[in-house]
Structure 1
Amino acid sequence: MSIKKSFLIELEKETNNTARILDRITDDHLDWRPHEKSMSLGELAAHVVELHSWVSKAIPKDVFDFKTDYQPLKINSVEELKDILKKGLIVNKQTIDQLPEEDWLKEWVLRAGDWEIVRLPKAGAIRFVITNHLIHHRGQLTVYLRLLNIPVPGLYGPSADE
């Protein structure tokens, strides 16, 4: 199996898992936060969705700079999040499909201006910087669901609610 094929499979599964969580929340939940230092549910959900889009926005570049290439996603509704995720999947699939196999081993840099955060191959970037990062924040989102007494979907097997 090619690197691209494995990333396409993972992309599809992780996008579907995020969609399952978005299906559980309503616009009334978006402003809720478990603690004053925490992101609101809407901010956290938007961050998870925007991380999916980094496949098409960050991976094709050799350097992704937070100061020039990143704009936090601002949303007004759950439907908007679902639409962004759905459309993003199409663009992400095209991005992965069009990236030459040898480019997955090319160096990729994440920086914030002059500060270099990480330097690794693009294959490592998609896994470490994007997928693991969004899984981490999606896990936080499941805790928000639990605290709001919203049934948590099983993402990698059944949950206590299934």
Structure 2
Amino acid sequence: MYRSINDFLEDWSQEEALTLKVLEALTDDSLKQSVSAAQPRSLGDLGWHLVGSLDIMLGAAGLVIAGPEYKLPTPECASDIVQGYRQMSDAVTNALKQQWNDEKLSQGILLFGFIDTTYGGVLKTVVRHQIHHRGQMTILMRQAGVVPPGVYGPNEEESAAIRAAKG
């Protein structure tokens, strides 16, 4: 749980950069890669979900976010998802600075009517949610023929290049 807005914003800055690293590796063709025949949710849908979920989750906790319209269908261009994510993340950062304070983070909330947590816990859930879907996306990227970037360390290709450079 976060105890200060600044602690969250420092962590968010790192997580936002990692999410953008994944989103920026997407191609327009890769957006169509689905989870499975039985589960039609696509790589593009997951990317767009990262945009909309910020407003959904934080909005459920009372944060008013002036971000992009995410309720539209999933964009067909990867760059539109990247742009939407950048705009929404900036809007979240601005809204948090203006509307919440450190004291609020320790206050309790029943998120979505059934998750007993604190406002700081909501922020932790938002970060974990992003991490969860980034992981899903990197698998779908491989299936779509796109090399996902290393996130918390080098990917296979980056590791091989490191080994090769060491000789």
TM tier, smaller: 0.7 to 0.9
Which whole-Å CA distance do the structure 1 matches of 2:124 and 2:140 have between them?
24
**2:129 is the alignment partner of 1:133:** yes
2:109–2:116 contact (8 Å) kept in structure 1 = yes
Amino acid at match of 1:91: A
Specify the alignment match of 1:45 in structure 2: 47
Q: Which entry has the higher C-alpha Rg, 1 or 2?
A: 2
Amino acid at match of 1:75: T
Q: Secondary structure at the match of 1:161?
A: helix
Q: Greater strand percent: which structure?
A: 1
Where structure 1 has 5 or more consecutive residues not aligned to the other structure, the ranges are 62-70
**2:17 is the alignment partner of 1:3:** no
Tell me the TM-score normalized by structure 2.
0.77
Which whole-Å CA distance do the structure 2 matches of 1:135 and 1:21 have between them?
11
Matches within 5 A, 1:21-100: 21-38=22-39, 39-54=41-56, 57-61=59-63, 74-76=73-75, 77-98=77-98, 99-100=100-101
Ranges of 4+ aligned residues in structure 1 off by more than 6 Å: none
Identity of aligned residues (%): 24
Which whole-Å CA distance do the structure 2 matches of 1:16 and 1:73 have between them?
24
Q: What displacement does 1:60 show?
A: 3.5
What do you get for the CA RMSD once the two structures are aligned? 2.2
Which whole-Å CA distance do the structure 1 matches of 2:121 and 2:72 have between them?
24
Residues 52 and 12 of structure 1, relative CA distance in 2, 3 Å threshold: farther
Which whole-Å CA distance do the structure 2 matches of 1:52 and 1:160 have between them?
30
Which whole-Å CA distance do the structure 2 matches of 1:41 and 1:91 have between them?
24
1:47–1:73 contact (8 Å) kept in structure 2 = no
For these two proteins, the number of residue pairs brought into alignment is 148
